[in-house]
Structure 1
Amino acid sequence: MYFPRIEDLRIDSDRKQYEVAAYLHLNREVYRRYEKGEREIPVWAVIQLARLYGTSTDYILGLSDRR
């Protein structure tokens, strides 16, 4: 499933893919595939990204427009 907000949040926070990948303890290529929807992102990673960006998992998943 593709969640474009993870790329938008990363860009808005001036982070590089390799920085977010390191935060998640992943290879950059794996994280890139999450951003592009080429690989399904696991629940634990969505939760960690919500913590990193100070937002809700619902926002990341597109279930809410409230950041």
Structure 2
Amino acid sequence: MEIQRLRDLRDDHDKTQQEIADVLNMHRSVYRRYESGERETPAWVVVKLAEYYHVSTDYLLGRTNDPTPYPPAKTK
């Protein structure tokens, strides 16, 4: 997880760690450890944060600088 990117997104959205922890249904101390890099961020948290911030998971993971989320997959 790109730690600085996670913190910047939260700051850009004027959210506190507690507000994001509430979105993720966890204690603030657990979220703080993800944001500080003390703890590895589980995949479900990455997905939920990407949905919340309307960015791609690759952007959160630092694999791209383009925050644009991917379009939904087309089903047949």
Shorter-chain TM-score range: over 0.9
RMSD: 1.1
Mapped to 1, the partners of 2:3 and 2:22 lie a distance apart of: 20
| Shift in alpha-carbon separation, 1:2–1:64, aligned structure 2, 3 A | closer
- Identity, in percent, stands at 51
Residues paired across the two proteins, number: 67
- Other-structure match for 1:45: 45
1:20-35 alignment, distance < 5 Å: 20-35=20-35
| Higher RCO (CA 8 Å, separation ≥ 6 residues) | 1
